[in-house]
């Protein structure tokens, strides 16, 4: 396997070392997303699994506060090639990449947004906002002027060495391959062997090309393993008891320390942290990285209790090493009214937050409740809009280890 890049070698080493830790989840052992109802699009960094107007799970058909989904038609003009079925796509949704059309004596080069074939549609990040047509690009297949691009799986134990091979006319675009999937890993794009250049669906290439899948390990860090007791800093802030436990309030009364942890069989690790219903409450994840990384993917697995909530970068502050992370607003809940029942409403959802940079050594990711919004209706002693936090996920090609506390 001399085709393996540095990533694979690194990841293999990481998996071996990660086996010493119980939470590393190498090789796909623990990748179950606990997203309920909506499914988690865990291969698309740019898209939020809580899509606009998307998976707002109405638990019992009550839809008084839910918006009606709008769908658009996406047509494919194959420009002389084999026909491709149109798709109905929800507003803000992604188009499913169809199988490449075929055409005698021509090579397919990609789907474009315009008849003049200037701009290639990006199936992973471009979203649908109206009825639209995508146009097929073709190049004449001249045997003495074509090249091939091999896209390699690029890990030990892969189903095959090559995931997909594309033929292209020299000086033309290479049609985008499908997205490979690997348990426990996030696909981070196609790169040249030395990792210096990423495949571009817009670029025009000359001569044979090799591209290698970049795999980022999916690390899961449980909220229930963060420090919930013994924080003198919190005591000084008035956020802890004299024994150092964090203080929270839930519907039935006060809770603190280990009492913030609830059991739920569909949660990652079977537990989550609840009850941080006051301004200033926070969870802190202390994560050690074996090297500096750029562009790691941060995701959170969240739900809400008692009432639906909407969180913004301001009302629920996320910082990485004291730098605030901006993210799209997060809506959680079922669309039903307030409830006196404990437990996550609509289950947990995995939500894309942002790409983040990590430094070598310790990194601190802090989730802070920064509002005093009481939910509509009778919500007892809930003094802020705060999510129930199951876990945090980071997709990274560095080795990450969280400092775990016994709670
Ligand atoms: Ca958990």
SS3 for 61-107 is CCCCCCCCCCEEEEEEECCCCCCCCCEEEECCCECCCCCCCCCCCEE
Please list, residue by residue across 220-232, b when 16 or more beta carbons sit within 10 angstroms of its beta carbon and e when fewer do: bbbbbbbbbbebe
Between the CA of 347 and the centroid of ligand 1 the distance, in Å, is 12
Residue 289, strand partner residues = 361, 400
Arithmetic mean of pLDDT, 23-43: 33
Residue 281 lies in a domain: yes
Arithmetic mean of pLDDT, 26-45: 34
Between the CA of 307 and the centroid of ligand 1 the distance, in Å, is 21
Between the CA of 388 and the centroid of ligand 1 the distance, in Å, is 10
Supply the pLDDT for residue 27: 32
C-alpha atoms less than 13 angstroms from C-alpha of 100 in its C-beta half-sphere: 19
What's the chain's Rg over C-alpha atoms?
Answer: 24
Between the CA of 384 and the centroid of ligand 1 the distance, in Å, is 21
Residue where a domain stops, chosen among 161, 185, 218: 218
What does the mean pLDDT of the chain come to?
82
Between the CA of 231 and the centroid of ligand 1 the distance, in Å, is 21
Q: Is 84 left (phi over 0), alpha (psi -120 to 50) or beta?
A: beta
Question: Do 121 and 128 contact (CB within 8 A), yes or no?
Answer: no
Between the CA of 381 and the centroid of ligand 1 the distance, in Å, is 24
Is 177's pLDDT higher than 60? yes
Between the CA of 255 and the centroid of ligand 1 the distance, in Å, is 18
Residue 183 lies in a domain: yes
Residue 1 lies in a domain: no
Q: Which two tokens stand for residue 215?
A: 């795999």
Between the CA of 329 and the centroid of ligand 1 the distance, in Å, is 22
The answer to whether residues 308 and 360 belong to one domain is yes
Between the CA of 283 and the centroid of ligand 1 the distance, in Å, is 13
Between the CA of 310 and the centroid of ligand 1 the distance, in Å, is 21
Is 8's pLDDT higher than 60? no
The answer to whether residues 158 and 273 belong to one domain is no
Supply the pLDDT for residue 115: 96
Between the CA of 264 and the centroid of ligand 1 the distance, in Å, is 9
C-alpha atoms less than 13 angstroms from C-alpha of 37 in its C-beta half-sphere: 18
Question: Do 135 and 114 contact (CB within 8 A), yes or no?
Answer: yes
The answer to whether residues 60 and 208 belong to one domain is no
Is 382's pLDDT higher than 90? no
Supply the pLDDT for residue 377: 59
Residue where a domain stops, chosen among 199, 218, 237: 218
Residue 36 lies in a domain: yes
- 164 burial (CB, 10 Å; 0-12 / 13-18 / 19+) is middle
Supply the pLDDT for residue 4: 34
- Nearest one of 165, 272, 153 to 209, comparing CA atoms: 165
Over residues 224-260, the pLDDT tens digits come to 999 998 877 777 767 778 778 887 766 556 778 888 9
Residue 88's domain comprises 71-140
Between the CA of 33 and the centroid of ligand 1 the distance, in Å, is 11
The DSSP secondary structure of 274-327, one letter per residue, reads --B-STT-EEEEEEEESS-EEEEEEEEEEE-SSS-EEE-TTTEEEEETTEEEP-
**pTM exceeding 0.75:** no
Between the CA of 262 and the centroid of ligand 1 the distance, in Å, is 9
Residue 342 lies in a domain: yes
Question: Do 224 and 271 contact (CB within 8 A), yes or no?
Answer: yes
Is 12's pLDDT higher than 90? no
Residue 400, strand partner residues = 289
Arithmetic mean of pLDDT, 81-87: 98
Between the CA of 31 and the centroid of ligand 1 the distance, in Å, is 13
Over residues 262-273, the pLDDT tens digits come to 999 999 999 999
Is 176's pLDDT higher than 90? yes
Between the CA of 219 and the centroid of ligand 1 the distance, in Å, is 13
CATH number at residue 348: 2.60.120.260
Between the CA of 225 and the centroid of ligand 1 the distance, in Å, is 8
Supply the pLDDT for residue 379: 54
Between the CA of 361 and the centroid of ligand 1 the distance, in Å, is 24
Residue 290 lies in a domain: yes
The answer to whether residues 129 and 172 belong to one domain is no
Is 166's pLDDT higher than 80? yes
Residue 187, strand partner residues = 215
In this predicted structure, which of 164-173, 181-190, 220-229, 371-380 has the lowest mean pLDDT? 371-380
Separation in Å, CA 45 to CA 41, 124, 187, 355, 379: 9, 8, 9, 8, 35
The answer to whether residues 383 and 236 belong to one domain is yes
**Is 33 or 268 the better-scoring residue by pLDDT?**
268
Residue 379 lies in a domain: yes
The answer to whether residues 243 and 392 belong to one domain is yes
The answer to whether residues 321 and 176 belong to one domain is no
Task: Enumerate residues 6+ apart whose C-beta is below 8 A from 84.
Answer: 76, 78, 98, 99, 101, 136
pLDDT band at 306 (very low <50, low <70, confident <90, very high): confident
Between the CA of 242 and the centroid of ligand 1 the distance, in Å, is 27
The answer to whether residues 33 and 12 belong to one domain is no
H/E element holding 145?
A: none
The answer to whether residues 50 and 76 belong to one domain is no
**Is 135 or 279 the better-scoring residue by pLDDT?**
135
Residue where a domain stops, chosen among 160, 190, 218: 218
Arithmetic mean of pLDDT, 121-129: 92
Between the CA of 39 and the centroid of ligand 1 the distance, in Å, is 18
Between the CA of 254 and the centroid of ligand 1 the distance, in Å, is 21
Between the CA of 247 and the centroid of ligand 1 the distance, in Å, is 19
Please list, residue by residue across 69-97, b when 16 or more beta carbons sit within 10 angstroms of its beta carbon and e when fewer do: eeebebebebbebeebeebebbbbbbbee
Between the CA of 390 and the centroid of ligand 1 the distance, in Å, is 4
The answer to whether residues 255 and 188 belong to one domain is no
Q: Into how many domains does the chain fold?
A: 3
How many Å apart are CA 213 and CA 216, to the nearest integer? 10
Arithmetic mean of pLDDT, 70-76: 97
How many Å apart are CA 143 and CA 8, to the nearest integer? 35
Supply the pLDDT for residue 11: 36
In this predicted structure, which of 18-27, 43-52, 136-145, 274-283 has the lowest mean pLDDT? 18-27
The answer to whether residues 206 and 227 belong to one domain is no
Between the CA of 293 and the centroid of ligand 1 the distance, in Å, is 25
Supply the pLDDT for residue 67: 57
The DSSP secondary structure of 122-138, one letter per residue, reads -TTT-B--S-EEEEEEE
How many Å apart are CA 263 and CA 274, to the nearest integer? 10
In this predicted structure, which of 20-24, 167-171, 269-273 has the lowest mean pLDDT? 20-24
Over residues 278-301, the pLDDT tens digits come to 888 899 999 999 999 988 999 999
Residues less than 5 Å from ion ligand 1, measured at CB: 222, 267-269, 272, 390-391
Residue 407 lies in a domain: no
CATH number at residue 107: 2.60.40.4270
How many Å apart are CA 268 and CA 124, to the nearest integer? 27
The answer to whether residues 246 and 136 belong to one domain is no
Share of the chain above pLDDT 70, in %: 80
Between the CA of 322 and the centroid of ligand 1 the distance, in Å, is 24
Is 195's pLDDT higher than 90? no
Supply the pLDDT for residue 54: 35
Between the CA of 67 and the centroid of ligand 1 the distance, in Å, is 30
How many Å apart are CA 210 and CA 208, to the nearest integer? 7
Arithmetic mean of pLDDT, 131-135: 98
Between the CA of 179 and the centroid of ligand 1 the distance, in Å, is 29
Supply the pLDDT for residue 251: 58
- 25 burial (CB, 10 Å; 0-12 / 13-18 / 19+) is buried
Between the CA of 236 and the centroid of ligand 1 the distance, in Å, is 28
């Amino acid at each position: 396997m001399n085709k393996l890049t540095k990533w694979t070698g690194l990841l293999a080493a990481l998996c071996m070392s990660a086996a010493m830790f119980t939470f590393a989840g190498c090789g796909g052992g623990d990748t179950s997303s606990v997203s309920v109802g909506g499914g988690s699009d865990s291969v698309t960094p740019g898209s939020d699994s809580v899509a606009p107007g998307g998976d707002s799970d109405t638990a019992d058909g009550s839809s008084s506060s839910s918006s009606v989904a709008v769908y658009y038609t996406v047509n494919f003009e194959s420009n002389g090639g084999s026909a491709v079925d149109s798709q109905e796509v929800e507003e803000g949704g992604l188009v499913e990449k169809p199988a490449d059309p075929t055409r005698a004596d021509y090579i397919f080069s990609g789907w474009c947004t315009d008849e003049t074939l200037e701009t290639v549609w990006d199936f992973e990040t471009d979203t649908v906002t109206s009825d639209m047509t995508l146009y097929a690009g073709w190049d004449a297949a001249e045997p003495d002027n074509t090249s091939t691009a091999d896209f390699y799986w690029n890990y030990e134990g892969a189903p095959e060495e090559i995931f997909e091979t594309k033929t292209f006319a020299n000086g033309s675009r290479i049609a985008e391959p499908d997205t490979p999937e690997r348990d426990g890993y996030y696909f981070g794009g196609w790169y040249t062997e030395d990792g210096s250049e990423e495949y571009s669906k817009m670029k025009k290439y000359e001569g044979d090309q090799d591209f290698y899948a970049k795999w980022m390990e999916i690390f899961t860090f449980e909220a229930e393993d963060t420090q919930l007791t013994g924080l003198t800093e919190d005591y000084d802030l008035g956020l802890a008891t004299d024994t150092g436990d964090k203080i929270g309030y839930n519907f039935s009364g006060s809770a603190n320390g280990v009492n913030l942890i609830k059991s739920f069989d569909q949660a990652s690790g079977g537990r989550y942290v609840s009850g941080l219903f006051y301004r200033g409450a926070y969870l802190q994840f202390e994560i050690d990285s074996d090297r500096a990384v750029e562009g790691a993917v941060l995701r959170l697995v969240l739900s809400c209790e008692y009432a639906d909530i909407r969180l913004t970068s301001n009302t629920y502050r996320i910082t990485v090493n004291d730098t605030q992370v901006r993210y799209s607003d997060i809506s959680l809940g079922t669309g039903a009214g307030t409830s006196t029942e404990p437990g996550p409403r609509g289950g947990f959802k995995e939500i894309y937050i942002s790409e983040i940079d990590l430094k070598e050594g310790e990194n601190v990711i802090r989730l802070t409740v920064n509002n005093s919004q009481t939910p509509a209706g009778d919500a007892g002693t809930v003094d802020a809009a705060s999510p129930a936090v199951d876990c945090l996920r980071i997709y990274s090609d560095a080795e990450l280890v969280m400092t775990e506390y016994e709670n």
